[in-house]
Amino acid sequence: MTLTEPSLVEPDVLERVLSSSLRHGGDFAEVFVEDRTTTGIALDDRRVEELSSGHDRGAGIRVVVGDTTGFAHTSDLSEAGLTAAAEAAAAVARQGGGGVRKVALELVTVRPPNEVLVLPSEVAKGTKVELLLRADDVARSRSNSIVQVSAGYGDSRRRIQVANSDGLLTGDDRVRTRFSVICVASGDTGMQTGYETTALTVGFELFEQRSVEEVAEEAARRAVTKLTARPAPAGVLPIVLQRGSGGMLFHEACGHGLEADHIVKDSSVYTGRIGEQVASPLVTLVDDGTVGPNWGSLAIDDEGHPAQRNVLIENGVLVDYMWDGLSARKKRRGSSGNGRRESYQDLPMVRMTNTFLLPGSEDPDEIVAATPRGVYIAHLGGGQVNTATGDFVFGMTEAYLIENGRITEPLRDANLIGNGPDVLGKIDAVGNDFDMAPGTCGKDGQSVPVGSGQPTLRISGVTIGGTAGA
């Protein structure tokens, strides 16, 4: 189905609210309106532990005067409520002032990156619970060693409307659906955990694209496999990242350092390096909010700018950063469609959408065969990065030893330690395959959905924080 263009507040009301914002001398004003509905269900050992529904509605109003930003939010979408918030934001930005600046809005419509077929709100909660029970059955049938299964379902519909004093009026209607399974296996080596998730910017048709049985089987397989895992080697070794599994590494290790707010504050290792070789010539890094139904896809960002494809690193050369509207204004350039916010109660900031490395030309199996000794990483866990230095730490949640060009024994969980620019320069083989994975990105207290991806690739040397000798 084609979702309707959001019209949460009438345009003439928005025009008057924006004019009121500028009456106190504002240079720029913006109204962000949001209507969000959510459903969450959690199953633990075949018991429904949580079944929740939420509905949140409100507006955030931003007024900019020079380098000062005033911001206020309200859950009252009446004209009086919006005007009060607008005047509060303007007062923060600049006390006093005068004059009147009228705003005329022009509606801009943007084509969504994909079509939603089945709204999750039209599916009975009992049907959603049945998915969780099916996942539990499949995970337990994988092995007698599975002693605990937790499964989670979530969906959301987020309608937004953005209007600003430049005359922009636009909106978006975003539907996302997610399903995850966590399995715990018990054996001679103790308890081991396996996790798998599927999540797309689609409706309930998600489960026609990937079944809950497949998700549950993968989570159980990971947990059972780790029961026979040996300690990971410690030291510097080549690693091969399975397609899709390492995308979050590059999201954290270099993506955040390419966000313009870090650049303008000179808090990124990539500041002032446009045109320089910052990675292997095999590396082309892209951020693109328009690539189908991936988890970070959107029609517009949360400032009303159309999502677009942004090439950040091309053949190893740094060509651009990611920009939100405010950062772009200061540099007298256009936004790259990367202004995002968690909710109407938050200010937008520069954030990634779907960030990924483009595939190369090598056969993934040949990459492994050409690696005498190393570590094959099939799944990465969470990580963190220092944007000023590029240093990072990531958890390996599914990894195997590579011996004589063959993937052999599974390894216990360990850390991957390195430096973003250093790792980019050590990529010496890039496969011709590709996959994406969903994730949640946290920054300055806000979380937003993102996608990350990459082909199978090899990094010639990264520090493994294991407990066995390399």
Instruction: Assess contact for 420 and 277: CB atoms under 8 A.
Output: no
Q: So what's the pLDDT on residue 384? A: 81
Which residues make Cβ contacts (< 8 Å) with residue 147, sequence separation at least 6? 184, 185, 186, 191
Q: Which of 29, 161, 11 is nearest to 89 (CA)?
A: 29
Distance of alpha carbon 157 from alpha carbon 417, whole angstroms: 38
Distance of alpha carbon 17 from alpha carbon 389, whole angstroms: 43
At 10 the three-state DSSP class reads: coil
In sequence order, what E strands does 165-232 have?
168-187, 190-200
Dihedral of alpha carbons 61, 65, 66, 68, sign? negative
Q: So what's the pLDDT on residue 374? A: 97
Q: Which of 205, 279, 293 is nearest to 457 (CA)?
A: 279
Give residue 160's identity as a one-letter amino acid code: I
Q: Which of 287, 319, 127, 269 is nearest to 207 (CA)?
A: 127
Q: Where are the domains of the chain?
A: 11-228, 233-469
Distance of alpha carbon 364 from alpha carbon 21, whole angstroms: 56
Q: So what's the pLDDT on residue 99? A: 42
Q: What is the mean pLDDT of each run of 10 residues along the chain (470 residues)?
A: 67 95 86 98 96 97 91 96 92 58 75 92 97 98 97 98 96 97 94 96 97 98 96 95 90 91 92 97 98 96 97 98 94 95 97 98 98 96 83 93 98 92 96 96 95 97 78
Distance of alpha carbon 296 from alpha carbon 448, whole angstroms: 8
Q: So what's the pLDDT on residue 78? A: 96
Q: So what's the pLDDT on residue 339? A: 98
Distance of alpha carbon 95 from alpha carbon 203, whole angstroms: 46
Q: So what's the pLDDT on residue 106? A: 80
Q: Which of 153, 155, 98, 150 is nearest to 122 (CA)?
A: 155
Backbone angles phi, psi at 383, to 5 degrees: -155, 180
Q: Which CATH architecture describes the domain 11-228?
A: 2-Layer Sandwich (3.30)
- Opening angle at CA 248, ends 308 and 300, nearest 5: 20
Q: So what's the pLDDT on residue 93? A: 83
Burial 154-180 (b: 16+ CB within 10 A, else e): bbbbbbbbbbbbeebbbbbbbbbbbbb
